[in-house]
Amino acid sequence: RVGFKTLEDGRKVRYFKSNGEVLGA
């Protein structure tokens, strides 16, 4: 599954919840 998270600098990134690999920001 893919989730969203907001980084400390305010960027939103998509990442795989299974292994934490971040997709293109």
Q: Which amino acid is at 2?
A: V
Sign of the dihedral through C-alpha 8, 12, 13, 18 = positive
**pLDDT per residue as tens digits for the range 1-25:** 999 999 999 999 999 999 999 987 5
What pLDDT is recorded for position 23? Answer: 86
Which residues lie below 8 Å from residue 7, measured CB to CB, with a gap of 6+?
13, 25
Cα gap 20→12, rounded to integer Å: 14
Report the chain's C-alpha Rg in angstroms.
8
pTM for the structure as a whole = 0.51
What pLDDT is recorded for position 25? Answer: 59
Cα gap 9→18, rounded to integer Å: 24
